[in-house]
Structure 1
Amino acid sequence: MADTYESASVEISDHVARVTLLGPGKGNAMGPAFWAEMPDVFGTLDDDPDVRAIVLTGSGKNFSYGLDLPAMGAAMPGLDAGAADRAGFHKRLQKMQGAITAVADCRTPTIASIHGWCIGGGVDLVSAVDIRYASADAKFSVRETKLAIVADVGSLARLPLILSDGHLRELVLTGKDVDAAHAARIGLVNDVYDDADASLAAAHATATEIAANPPLTVAGVKDVLDQQRTARVAESLRYVAAWNSAFLPSKDLAEAVTAMFQKRPPQFTGE
């Protein structure tokens, strides 16, 4: 069985579904289709009794470059945004958060196989799965910080449940790039494999092992584990949505985006 969306392809075989990110932005960047389709992708798979585990990966050379800024930039409020514009942004942001939460709330176990770049929204996405494998060439960055954005669709809510506090703060306060070996050392990924094919094979092997277990019990294990974190994550997401709706528009944000497209170092002023 196979199904295709604009932002992802879905293939199902032997009780395991594989969701492959397709973009359509460069590097599987997350544009409007991604945010609209993810709840349906994972909701449909979760409702399918034939699916007992889900593998998530990216097409091409990278997992995901994260938010598709050219496609989504217009959704951000400007410096002169009034209350109505900020309220509208708050509503759109909550819907985007819901796209990642749909992955986290899936009762079917999820395993990510990450290769190449996993930036910004890509980290938000993999923070929502149960198990993470990476190829040796994988690189991770909570890049929002360097773009004058407080990461707001899941990383700051879910990474505290994955990483120790010091490693988390180093990652998110610097916005620096870390390689797969470093990601494994700090617990961001479970294991590192030689290449993308080996990482994907390992993810499918784990998915097959999970799928062999009694499905109601597996769903129950996920439900009990997640019960301990659901309220905490939801509270964090509500807080950051309100914070960014109030404070995201800034001269530093405009400077970060301009500098990125002009391929020059940004000059931040704290305004």
Structure 2
Amino acid sequence: MTYRSTDYQAFELAVADHVAEVTLIGPGPGNAMGPDFWSELAVIFTELDADPDVRAVVLTGAGKHFSYGLDLAAMAGDLSAVLADGAKAKARTDFHGMVRRMQSAITTVADCRKPVVAAISGWCIGGGVDLITAADIRVASTDAKFSVREVRVAMVADVGTLARLPQIIGDGHTRELALTGKDVDAARAEKIGLVNDVYDDRDAALAAARATAAEIAANPPLVVQGIKDVLDHSRSAQVNDSLRYVAAWNAAFLPSLDLTEAVTAMFAKRPPVFTGE
């Protein structure tokens, strides 16, 4: 079976030879993650999980970049209530629910019984890192750059990175990336285990991801699913507990003058000045 779907706003989906290819397409610049992304991601991966013809998934981004991460401009309306002065229980409860829904969208990638191979080129920032940590295997092109950027915009990463990244690259590297918000190039990403391999360019990285997915798809599908289930079993409870905790933490403590300053500075294209308030 071969088919291609353009029914989505933030993704393109194609399936051929038992491999699905999910491509981020925006619509924001750099495949930024706006409302369409968060609503469609869960739908797509739930369908792929249930599709008996799909045995593996390639996840990539259209154009030069994998993803700039959360589309703050498009999501501003969802954030405005909790950022208002004196936000009360209703606003914080609604925000907590939104975070949990976003977490659940990323978790559908991690929980998909069909292994996911991510091919990353260009920038992979913030929410982009949340997304690739939910994949089973990651490959990159030499121009790939990664950043757990939330700390630089006065946020605690809350959609999956802090829950899953330590199990991929270890505690020390996770703390370095999350506490500094620094940019990491493909060579460093490979060295610390964030990606399995690095290739010369986007086309080569995508070809490698497709080849790996095809290798997986050629194996007995129930056994592949069993391997993934066993590997995921021991860490699932820890990940879920971390996600619940950070959602509650941000609902309580995210609003701050520093966050307002970070957003204002970003739109004004100037460095932020944080005061710890």
Q: TM-score, normalised by structure 2?
A: 0.97
The answer to whether 1:56 aligns with 2:94 is no
The size of the alignment, in residue pairs, is 271
Deviations 1:215-241 (A, max 9, x none): 000000001111111110000000000
Q: Which residue does the alignment assign to 2:263?
A: 257
Mean Cα deviation higher: 71-80 or 149-158? 71-80
SS of residue matched to 1:60: coil
Q: Distance in 1 between matches of 2:156 and 2:76?
A: 15
Q: Which residue does the alignment assign to 1:3?
A: 5
Q: Which residue does the alignment assign to 1:220?
A: 226
Unaligned runs of at least 5 residues, structure 1: none
Q: Which residue does the alignment assign to 1:131?
A: 137
SS of residue matched to 1:260: helix
- Whichever residue aligns with residue 9 of structure 1, its letter is E
Q: Distance in 2 between matches of 1:162 and 1:232?
A: 14
Q: Distance in 1 between matches of 2:107 and 2:76?
A: 22
How far off its partner does 1:72 sit?
0.5
Match of 2:29 among 12, 26, 31: 26
Q: Distance in 2 between matches of 1:220 and 1:73?
A: 41
Q: Which residue does the alignment assign to 1:197?
A: 203
- Whichever residue aligns with residue 97 of structure 2, its letter is K
Q: Which residue does the alignment assign to 2:274?
A: 268
Q: Distance in 1 between matches of 2:172 and 2:49?
A: 35
- Whichever residue aligns with residue 222 of structure 2, its letter is L
Identity %: 68
Deviations 1:170-227 (A, max 9, x none): 1110001110001001110000000000000000000010001000000000011111
The two structures, once aligned, show a CA RMSD in angstroms of 0.7
* Residues 103-182 of structure 1: pairs in structure 2 closer than 5 A: 103-182=109-188
Q: Which residue does the alignment assign to 2:74?
A: 71
Unaligned runs of at least 5 residues, structure 2: none
SS of residue matched to 2:169: coil
4+ residue segments displaced more than 3 Å: none
SS of residue matched to 1:221: helix
Q: TM-score, normalised by structure 1?
A: 0.99
How far off its partner does 1:80 sit?
2.0
How far off its partner does 1:73 sit?
1.8
- Whichever residue aligns with residue 147 of structure 1, its letter is V
Q: Distance in 1 between matches of 2:125 and 2:218?
A: 33
How far off its partner does 1:263 sit?
1.3
